[in-house]
Amino acid sequence: MHAAETIKVLAFYAFTKVEDPQKMIKEHKSFLESLTGKGRIYISEEGINAQCSVPAEHLEAYTSYVLKNFYTADIKIHTHRAHPFARLIVKYRKQLVAMDQIVDTTKQGVHLESKEWEKMILERDENTIIIDTRNDYEWEVGHFDGALLPKLNKFREFPAYAEDLKKDYDAEKTKVMMYCTGGIRCELYSALMIKLGFKNVYQLKGGVIRYGLENGNRAWQGKLFVFDDRMVIPISEDKAEPIAECKFCQKPADSYYNCANMDCNDLILACPECIERQKGCCCSDCLENGRVRPFSLATVTTPFRKLSHEDKQNLSKKEPVSA
């Protein structure tokens, strides 16, 4: 097998009752470790939310294990050249999606398959809105054509945004289409919209990941932000032009970098030329002050990791990096 095709990246979730989350956490972590898997997996009494990766030869064993314990899981799979996660984390998280509200997940929006979703987009009228439920740094590099793009920076900010929508749209008449990366946020957000009084709510089953795997990017613009080392990926094999701009020169760009200054570490959307010139920093202040990590575009293939205490101390002793 070619080296570039040895790792399978999985995204899945399932809302199903887990009697003993701590026991499941230990079992799941042990099994995934035996397959040399990596990733971030959260388990609670309400289910599981996972993004992880395994060598291709272990894919069948792992998917069988997942479906045995979480039979409703809709597993989306991509191929990548290496593990896009630094390590394996399997732990308890009370809220699988941090929303700080209790909603009735038995009352969700209508789940639309990829083709149904695309058809509804093409046939939508003035009483139909499409809501991108993701954070602003996510939709900046890619989104569905015509979607509302809320300026949110955290998942838990969506309820306030949803309340404001009621001021602008008739909850009785408006058809609300919602989507997110893999589908899990919409499971809760669509229930919230119904709780707020919206009568016609629809959600993209399997999220953008499933849509890209099944439909390509016909109704999609740009690329997809993901919470792993890949950061920004095409949703399919179709050609995808950048829709965002470089922070520095405003030329088309769709690559994110973490600021090389450890005391900042903000995401930077930049073109290769500018980020190289900035030595990986988001501004001159970050470049000239604080603990700045060495940056080289030729060697940076993953986001900056948290440095060890010793490395931080060594950087602190160095002279500020000159521009």
| Residues 125 and 62 occupy one common structural domain | no
Q: Please report, for the domain that includes residue 16, its CATH number.
A: 3.30.70.100
- Tens of pLDDT along 103-159? 888 899 999 999 999 999 999 999 999 999 999 999 999 999 999 999 998 888 999
> Of 244 and 95, which is predicted with more confidence?
244
| Residues 138 and 176 occupy one common structural domain | yes
Last residue of a domain, one of 169, 196, 215: 215
Q: Does 160 reside within a domain?
A: yes
**pLDDT at residue 253 greater than cutoff 90:** yes
Confidence of residue 306 (pLDDT cuts 50, 70, 90): low
Question: What pLDDT score does 3 carry?
Answer: 46
Q: Does 206 reside within a domain?
A: yes
| Residues 127 and 208 occupy one common structural domain | yes
Q: What is the dihedral of CA 226, 272, 80, 90, to 10 degrees?
A: -40
Strand 110-112, strand 200-204: pairing: parallel
Identity of the residue numbered 104: D
Nearest to 255 by CA among 270, 243, 236: 270
What residues act catalytically? 180
User: What residues make up the domain containing 279?
Assistant: 244-317
Q: Does 30 reside within a domain?
A: yes
| Residues 266 and 183 occupy one common structural domain | no
Q: Does 323 reside within a domain?
A: no
- Please state the domain count of the chain: 3
Residue reference for tokens 């993953």? 302
**pLDDT at residue 301 greater than cutoff 70:** no
Beta partners for 224?
233
Q: Does 222 reside within a domain?
A: no
Question: What pLDDT score does 316 carry?
Answer: 53
| Residues 138 and 178 occupy one common structural domain | yes
Last residue of a domain, one of 167, 196, 215: 215
Beta partners for 222?
142
Q: What is the dihedral of CA 146, 79, 280, 278, to 10 degrees?
A: -60
Rg for the chain, CA atoms, rounded: 21
| Residues 123 and 152 occupy one common structural domain | yes
Average pLDDT over residues 41-70: 97
| Residues 50 and 143 occupy one common structural domain | no
Q: Does 97 reside within a domain?
A: no
| Residues 68 and 150 occupy one common structural domain | no
Q: Please report, for the domain that includes residue 133, its CATH number.
A: 3.40.250.10
Nearest to 193 by CA among 205, 175, 207, 211: 175
| Residues 127 and 44 occupy one common structural domain | no
Q: Indicate the helix (H) or strand (E) that contains 3.
A: none
Q: Does 104 reside within a domain?
A: no
Q: Indicate the helix (H) or strand (E) that contains 81.
A: none
Beta partners for 39?
52, 88
Nearest to 39 by CA among 74, 73, 7, 1: 7
Listed in sequence order, the residues at least 6 apart from 291 whose beta carbon sits closer than 8 Å to its beta carbon are: 261, 262, 263, 312, 315, 316
Last residue of a domain, one of 62, 92, 122: 92
Phi, psi of 176 (to 5 degrees): -105, 115
| Residues 155 and 123 occupy one common structural domain | yes
Q: Does 300 reside within a domain?
A: yes
| Residues 187 and 145 occupy one common structural domain | yes
Q: Give one word for 158, left, alpha or beta, with left for phi > 0 and alpha for psi -120 to 50.
A: alpha
- Count Cβ atoms below 10 Å from residue 281 Cβ, excluding itself: 26
| Residues 75 and 115 occupy one common structural domain | no
**What predicted TM-score, i.e. pTM, was given to this entire model?**
0.89
